[in-house]
Structure 1
Amino acid sequence: MKHTILVNDMTCNHCVGTVRGALEDALQGAEVEIDLDSHKVSFEGDRAKGEAAIREAGYTPEAA
C-alpha cells in the first residue's frame, strides 16, 4: 500500500536526500517518491514505521 504524507519542514534538496535515506533504511526495498515543491512524500510499506523514520531524521510528518 502506498502512503502520502506532508513534510512541510523539508525545504531543500539536502532535506529530500535525508528523508529519502531515512525511509529507504527503515523500509528496505520500498519505492519512495518526493516532491519538494508540494512537500509530499509517498512511500510503500508500513506507514507508522515510515513516519517514525522521518521523525528520527528530524522532520515532522503530517497527514496529506
Structure 2
Amino acid sequence: MTDKTTFIVNDMTCAHCVGTVRSALEQALPGAQIAIDLPNHKVSFAGDRAKGEDAIRQAGYTPERV
C-alpha cells in the first residue's frame, strides 16, 4: 500500500488552480489517486511525496506539509 500525502496549498484559490495542480500531479505521478479539497486548500495524493511536492511547486504553488 502506498502512503498518502497531504499538503495545504493556501495559494490554490479557485477551480483553475485545482485543475493546474491536478494536471501537474497527474503528469508527475501517472495513475496516482489525487484528492483536492479547495475550500480547505488540501491536496492529497498517493505516491512519491517529493515528486508530488516538486510538481506542485513547478506549477507555481506553495505546498505546506500537514
TM-score of the superposed pair, with normalisation by structure 2: 0.95
Pick aligned residue for 2:48 from 41, 46, 49:
46
- Select 2:13's aligned residue among 2, 11, 14: 11
Identical positions, percent: 72
Which 4+ residue blocks in structure 1 deviate beyond 2 angstroms?
none
> Unpaired runs of 5+ in structure 1?
none
Partner letter of residue 34 of structure 1? I
Confirm or deny that 1:26 pairs with 2:24. no
Q: CA deviation at 1:23?
A: 0.2
* Count of matched residue positions in the alignment of Structure 1 and Structure 2: 64
RMSD, matched Cα:
0.4
* Residue segments in structure 2 that go unaligned for 5+ positions in a row: none
CA distance in 1, matches of 2:44, 2:65: 11
Given the two structures, how large is their TM-score scaled by the length of structure 1? Answer: 0.98
